[in-house]
């Protein structure tokens, strides 16, 4: 955690000095400082999020409940649409387990992560933001109010996941949405955070599919 904190501080200093503008608005350095402190202090989160996956031929929208720790553990449960409601994926730090209630409650386990799933978590964005060689911050107005937009590079060479942006509300330091873009700048994954809570006490049992 000390290394994580140091990287965040260094990153913040560089970004404040090189801040960009968007939609003719200047980045609010004070708001960014508050956002930075909130993200740096994040140890866990619980969220309800609408996740949209966009391919060349189809668009799929899912309602999800997410629980995650900065140490890597997570639980993602799909609540809609009805035909996939109840599908749950958990990572306990070692093994990824998936539960499908429609296949006799079958549980499958693997150690191979699907990057499309991992990148919908805010903890993944923060990790990418800290470790990216190219990052930026911008300002933007949304219906919900003024926001600070953080941009980072998605690691790896996935053609449909190259960069990602996170819109953070200036006054509450809560995430509003996150978008992942492909190498051509097209939107591929959109995450809308309908509710979000920092630093909740998540029991270890949450990261098992038997809960």
In order of their start, the domains of the chain are 2-207 (2.50.20.10)
Of residues 120, 86, 133, the one with CA closest to residue 105: 86
Q: What is the DSSP string of 153-168?
A: EPSS--TT-SEEEEEE
Q: What is the DSSP string of 116-147?
A: HHHTTSHHHHHHHHHH-SS-EEEEEEETTEEE
Pairing relationship of beta strands 136-142 and 106-110 according to DSSP bridges: unpaired
Question: Could you tell me the two tokens for 8?
Answer: 């965040």
**Please, what is the angle between helix 122-131 and helix 2-17, to 10°?**
70
* Residue recorded with tokens 């979000």: 196
- List per-residue pLDDT tens for the chain, 211 residues long: 433 443 444 344 444 333 333 333 578 999 999 999 999 999 999 999 999 999 999 999 999 999 999 999 999 999 999 999 999 999 999 999 999 888 766 688 887 788 889 999 999 999 999 998 888 999 999 999 999 999 999 998 888 999 999 999 999 999 999 999 999 999 999 999 999 999 999 999 999 876 5
Of residues 166, 152, 158, 146, the one with CA closest to residue 182: 158
């Amino acid at each position: 955690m000390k290394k994580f904190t140091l990287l965040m501080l260094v990153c913040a200093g560089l970004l404040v000095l090189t801040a960009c503008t968007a939609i003719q608005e200047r980045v609010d350095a004070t708001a960014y400082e508050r956002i930075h402190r909130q993200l740096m202090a994040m140890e866990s989160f619980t969220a309800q999020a609408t996740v949209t996956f966009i391919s060349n031929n189809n668009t799929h929208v899912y309602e999800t409940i997410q629980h995650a720790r900065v140490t890597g553990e997570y639980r993602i449960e799909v609540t809609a649409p009805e035909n996939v409601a109840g599908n749950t994926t958990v990572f306990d730090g070692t093994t990824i387990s998936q539960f499908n209630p429609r296949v006799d409650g079958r549980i499958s386990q693997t150690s191979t992560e699907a990057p499309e799933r991992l990148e919908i978590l805010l903890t993944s964005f923060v990790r990418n933001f800290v470790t990216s060689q190219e990052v930026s911050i911008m300002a933007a107005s949304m219906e919900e109010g003024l926001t600070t937009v953080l941009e980072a590079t998605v690691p790896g060479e996935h053609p449909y996941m190259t960069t990602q942006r996170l819109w953070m509300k200036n006054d509450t330091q809560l995430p509003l949405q996150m978008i992942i873009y492909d190498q051509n700048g097209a939107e591929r994954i959109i995450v809308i955070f309908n509710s979000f809570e920092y630093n909740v006490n998540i029991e270890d049992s949450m990261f098992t599919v038997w809960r």
